């Protein structure tokens, strides 16, 4: 099984992906974590020092490496879809799910965030609106399924995605039941 999550910063790719991997009993990989291991510092520091293009070059290499041995649940970074090479690697090797969110919901989740370099600006909500307008068509082009994240909790999103994967024939129906609440 190989599932990739795409969407804007704050959409829940990392948080939902981690829980989805556990539920499906399959490895969870976050491209941003793999990148930070390779560069040896935080993405924000790397952006400051080397610039966005250098980051995108490493991101492209990491996505190509992971696609060559596609498995588990992959959380991508929000900008992974900017390059056509990444879009086709993801589409061709993973079942891609777009976690769609409104800029307003994302702003609510990320208003205190200091880790995302693209949002360290005077008007982060305005920046999220620009990113949404520019990237929404690219996420849709890359994804096989779209899930709206506005209202559901992270646990509910995992349930919705498992159901979608069952419908798409990626996982067997009933093979990954929800853990009973303890």
Ligand X SMILES: O=C(O)C1=C[C@@H](OP(=O)(O)O)[C@@H](O)[C@H](O)C1
Ligand Y SMILES: Nc1ncnc2c1ncn2[C@@H]1O[C@H](COP(=O)(O)OP(=O)(O)O)[C@@H](O)[C@H]1O
Site residues for Mg ion per CB under 5 A: 13-14
157 near ligand Y, judged by CB under 6 A: yes
Choose among ligand X, ligand Y, Mg ion, none what residue 29 binds, the Cβ cut-off being 5 to 8 Å by kind.
none
Choose among Mg ion, ligand Y, ligand X, none what residue 124 binds, the Cβ cut-off being 5 to 8 Å by kind.
none
22 near ligand Y, judged by CB under 6 A: no
Binding site for ligand X (CB under 6 A): 9, 13-14, 32, 43, 77-79, 116-118
Looking at the Cβ atoms of 54 and 175, the one nearer to ligand X is 54
Q: Contacting ligand Y (CB under 6 A), which of 2, 4, 12, 93?
A: 12
**Shortest separation between residue 15's beta carbon and ligand X, angstroms:** 9
131 neighbors 118 (Cβ within 8 angstroms): yes
Query: Sheet of 145-148: strands edge to edge?
Result: 28-30, 72-75, 2-6, 95-100, 145-148
Q: Contacting ligand Y (CB under 6 A), which of 25, 61, 88, 153?
A: 153
Pick from 122, 78, 125: nearest CA to 103: 125
Q: What are the phi and psi torsion angles at 151 (to 5°)?
A: -100, -40
Looking at the Cβ atoms of 157 and 174, the one nearer to ligand Y is 157
Q: At what angle do helices 43-50 and 31-39 cross, to 10 degrees?
A: 60
Which residues face 4 on adjacent strands?
A: 74, 96
Looking at the Cβ atoms of 21 and 78, the one nearer to ligand Y is 78
**Torsion of Cα atoms, 11 then 104 then 115 then 60, to 10°:** 50
């Amino acid at each position: 099984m190989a599932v990739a999550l795409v969407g804007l910063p704050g959409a829940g790719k990392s948080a939902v992906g981690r829980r989805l991997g556990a539920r499906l009993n399959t490895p969870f990989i976050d491209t941003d974590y793999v990148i930070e291991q390779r560069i040896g510092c935080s993405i924000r520091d790397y952006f400051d020092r080397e610039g966005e293009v250098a980051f995108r070059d490493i991101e492209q290499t990491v996505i190509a490496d992971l696609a060559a041995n596609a498995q588990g649940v992959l959380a991508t970074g929000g900008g992974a879809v900017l390059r056509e090479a990444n879009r086709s690697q993801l589409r061709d090797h993973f079942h891609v799910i777009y976690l769609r969110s409104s800029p307003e919901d994302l702003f609510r989740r990320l208003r205190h965030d200091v880790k995302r370099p693209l949002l360290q600006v005077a008007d982060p909500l305005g920046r999220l609106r620009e990113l949404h307008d520019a990237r929404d068509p690219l996420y849709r082009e890359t994804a096989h399924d779209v899930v709206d994240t506005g209202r559901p909790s992270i646990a509910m999103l995992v349930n919705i995605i498992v159901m979608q994967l069952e419908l798409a024939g990626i996982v067997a129906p009933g093979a990954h039941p929800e853990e009973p609440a303890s």
